[in-house]
Structure 1
């Protein structure tokens, strides 16, 4: 590879407004390929390509504004450029913008928007989005707590060898085990309660049946009815 020649040719094309050349030249200035690093020039080149709608350049420019590379930190600008790239379906932009919504960087916290953006990025297999969305499900941010879904997402990121996800996965696994243990304990307690209630009902039924049986078999002790004797045909003579 001849980075020096590539940088020269990219510079010539970029000067004519070629969007891919501007993006490539910005990348080369950013990483010092074919010459010295020049972060302000990298920001400038990415900016020119970003204005023409290049999603990759928009992401790069958003990141430079976010970390203060080649100029001051500006979360508002970072959020704007990530937003433009995210609208084009760029997975990294969706992940980065989602995280900015979670932490309220460059604008208010918006968990609902964060979940939506991270979900779009996750659908494209973006590992950072998998981790962040997994944490949101675990913490119940922007929706109900869902330890099972959190675990699934973190395992997807772990399968991509995402740095730092192992510790988060251990926390989720522990919480998942505790939840299962509690559910088992609650189920056992409920079963014991139902059995106790059933036993009590059976006892009451048996007692009632015994009482009715005893009542039906007892002799009557009430006195016979006193029926007055009927009068004879003749009356007493005077």
Structure 2
């Protein structure tokens, strides 16, 4: 975690307790993409208008599937009629013989679907799920997709999987979704492989398995799916489903980022800022963050803000950092809202604006940013205009402490110890001090040393006291502080 620790001070106010965060949270895998994927090749608005282009090999497969069930002359004639009606529907849909006529197209597709046209059934599923000249009707869409899926049409199986997973036309059913994705994936449907990987990643409808998630992401990634490439990179980066491998992670991030997958661009920025390959490459990091920022990615803007804030490969530029955080905050990036809030309180990179600073911290805190919650606790604890607001301080310290924020645990302990904003509870205070000390917070270790040396609300325990002093200051200075504490008058632990 990179941090810029020595923040500037607003006139008359000490903000040394505020730390500008330089952390970028890793984006979690998305659960499911959209159900219909329009393609320039053989499709229009997601509707198949040229099966030979949109689904190469599928037309022959569907005909073969139908003939396996019934190859009688009557059936052959019926399928030829269905194909004629399907083509007529396509003409109406694209307007080849004049203006587009969607009602006529739907009527023709329905007639073809009744005679067994798999592509007509699929198209009707698209029309009803997308509301193309008809009200959106997910039940009807499911009906037609199911008819097409029964003929083993992978696109229909995939879209049914999405509808089941999202609860479109019924209750969410991840087990059914997994079944449809599996059927489509077995035919090489890359989006189905991707989504099956997502279900295994989260354990939705299937047993949770990072190994299976990695397997299905790999299939899609090797065939060029940028989302799967990014998520496969994540699994390699964090050692899920197999050993961690930064080289493999970088490779898959790069493949994905080159296809403009914004999460991969951010991930590359993070890796370039780290020392995983020896020396950080801040110039490359900045370039990847810039590409992500140009796509409207809050994390990209945030990463740029961190670079200018800390002078990573560039001169420290507080105004530019503030501008980058401003853009990220507008995109609801909580840690950027926190940093921008701090900068408004301190005046770093621009004017002091306490009201806006507090408002930004509250936005970040509401999104669960522990640093912002801690900062607000400190703000209300250290108010210089009027009396401190211990109740508000308690509220925000507790929120951050519950997330394991060591400084918040320590300061919440102080409130319990003194009975400020809450009834005095020295037992709870000790519990919080020890939690913070367990995270190597020097203040908490030193305070516990004083408490046990002097027997403040506990029986004196010199061995334990010396241990805490040594942890805080090292053996030599720790013993010196311990001996000084024993000789000094009894005083509050701070």
With normalisation by structure 1, the TM-score equals 0.71
In structure 1, the residue matched to 2:163 is 28
Q: How far apart are the structure 2 equivalents of 1:89 and 1:60?
A: 15
Query: Quick check: 1:137–1:143 contact (8 Å CA) kept in 2?
Result: no
Q: Tell whether 2:212 aligns with 1:115.
A: no
In structure 1, the residue matched to 2:280 is 145
Change (3 A) 1:143 1:25: farther
In structure 1, the residue matched to 2:344 is none
SS in structure 2 at match of 1:47: helix
RMSD of equivalent CA atoms: 1.7
Q: How far apart are the structure 2 equivalents of 1:143 and 1:27?
A: 43
Q: Tell whether 2:289 aligns with 1:154.
A: yes
In structure 2, the residue matched to 1:221 is none
Q: Tell whether 2:220 aligns with 1:85.
A: yes
Change (3 A) 1:15 1:153: same
Residue 80 of structure 1 and its aligned partner are, at CA, apart by: 0.3
Residue 124 of structure 1 and its aligned partner are, at CA, apart by: 0.4
In structure 2, the residue matched to 1:68 is 203
Query: Quick check: 2:139–2:169 contact (8 Å CA) kept in 1?
Result: yes
Q: Could you report, residue by residue, the CA deviation over 1:61-98 in whole angstroms, capped at 9, with x for unpaired residues?
A: 10111112223321000000000000100000000001
SS in structure 1 at match of 2:235: helix
Query: Quick check: 1:95–1:128 contact (8 Å CA) kept in 2?
Result: yes
SS in structure 2 at match of 1:140: coil
Q: How far apart are the structure 2 equivalents of 1:142 and 1:78?
A: 26
Residue 181 of structure 1 and its aligned partner are, at CA, apart by: 5.0
Query: Quick check: 2:283–2:313 contact (8 Å CA) kept in 1?
Result: no
Query: Quick check: 2:269–2:285 contact (8 Å CA) kept in 1?
Result: yes
Residue 127 of structure 1 and its aligned partner are, at CA, apart by: 0.4
User: Aligned to 1:52, which of 183, 187, 191?
Assistant: 187
Runs (5+) with no aligned partner, structure 1: 183-238
Residue 170 of structure 1 and its aligned partner are, at CA, apart by: 1.9
Q: Could you report, residue by residue, the CA deviation over 1:165-210 in whole angstroms, capped at 9, with x for unpaired residues?
A: 43333222233x254459xxxxxxxxxxxxxxxxxxxxxxxxxxxx
Q: Tell whether 2:238 aligns with 1:103.
A: yes
Q: How far apart are the structure 2 equivalents of 1:67 and 1:23?
A: 19
Q: How far apart are the structure 1 equivalents of 2:314 and 2:282?
A: 11
Q: How far apart are the structure 2 equivalents of 1:167 and 1:99?
A: 20
Q: Which moved more, 1:110-119 or 1:142-151?
A: 142-151
5 Å matches for 1:153-172? 153-172=288-307
Which of the two has greater helix per residue?
Answer: 1
Query: Quick check: 1:55–1:84 contact (8 Å CA) kept in 2?
Result: yes
SS in structure 2 at match of 1:125: coil
Runs (5+) with no aligned partner, structure 2: 1-130, 132-136, 317-494
Q: How far apart are the structure 1 equivalents of 2:296 and 2:312?
A: 26
User: Aligned to 2:147, which of 12, 16, 19?
Assistant: 12
SS in structure 1 at match of 2:243: coil
Query: Quick check: 2:253–2:265 contact (8 Å CA) kept in 1?
Result: yes
Change (3 A) 1:77 1:37: same
Q: How far apart are the structure 2 equivalents of 1:81 and 1:19?
A: 16
Larger radius of gyration: 1
